[in-house]
Amino acid sequence: MDNNENKNQETELEEVKTEEAVETAEKAVDNADEAEEAQVEKEPVLSFEYDVKNEEEEKAFLAFQKKFVYAHNWKITAAFGVVAVLFIVSIVRNPSGYLNWVLAFICLAIIVLTWYNTRRIRKYLMQALKPLEDDKYVFTLYDDSFKIETLPTEEEKQEEDFTPVPPRIVGFEDISLNVLENDEMFIIILKKETIYVLAKRVMNEQQQETLRKTFSELLDSDYEMIDNK
């Protein structure tokens, strides 16, 4: 009787071990499949080398200002314009009122300075970016993100204190992202602070269409076609 019980226990133990081995094998297969899928997901959709001319930077920054800065400028213009008109009406009624002249001038000056500073910032930024005009970059698009790398020159690589610039990786779900497109370029805007310019002159038609489709599908209303003006 004891021998039979021992045999039954051994049989049950072997069955348990067999089931555990099967489960382990199945998990290993599942993990391998997941790893393979992850690897496939990280395969780039497209990749190309590019540069940015100073003129293209200026056009891109102007488009950025029209999209995110001009609306604020127009609000200031409207508000202080209305106040200036009220002071001008008071001046017409009472030309000797010195304070009305001063306040009307201040309102008009604020409007002029608002638009002047917008233009001045763009001018100074273009001057700062001019030395970077010959730099080369690599743009790589994935299903869920994109990567921008700066390519060092041979002279930079030979410098003793050379440190490569870390690539910028942006996930489509992880950051505030807007993309503007016109006939000449794609303008990528991160958090309304950082701008990347992808000129269409460095891409073929298929690459342009892939970018357009990816941005429009993933970003929805945050992707926008604009004119070149």
Report CA dihedral (192, 196, 201, 202) to the nearest 10 degrees.
-150
Question: Quick check: 172 and 219 in contact, CB under 8 A?
Answer: yes
Question: Quick check: 48 and 138 in contact, CB under 8 A?
Answer: yes
According to the model, what pLDDT value does residue 158 have?
81
pTM reported for the whole predicted model: 0.74
Using DSSP, state whether 136 is helix, strand or coil. strand
According to the model, what pLDDT value does residue 172 have?
87
User: Is the per-residue pLDDT at 40 higher than 60?
Assistant: no
According to the model, what pLDDT value does residue 39 have?
38
According to the model, what pLDDT value does residue 20 have?
52
Using DSSP, state whether 214 is helix, strand or coil. helix
User: CA separation (Å) from 109 to 112, 116, 118, 121, 189?
Assistant: 5, 10, 14, 18, 31
User: Is the per-residue pLDDT at 32 higher than 60?
Assistant: no
d(CA 45, CA 146): 9
pLDDT tens for each residue of 168-205 = 999 888 778 999 999 999 999 998 889 999 999 999 99
d(CA 153, CA 16): 62
Question: Quick check: 84 and 195 in contact, CB under 8 A?
Answer: no
Choose among 86, 84, 90, 89: nearest CA to 104: 84
User: Is the per-residue pLDDT at 163 higher than 70?
Assistant: yes
Element spanning 87, H or E: helix 70-93
- Mean pLDDT in residue range 132-155: 90
Element spanning 174, H or E: none
Higher pLDDT pick, 77 / 1: 77
List Cβ neighbours of 170 (8 Å cut-off, separation of 6 or more): 145, 146, 147, 148, 177, 190
Based on C-alpha coordinates, what's the Rg of the chain? 31
According to the model, what pLDDT value does residue 23 have?
53
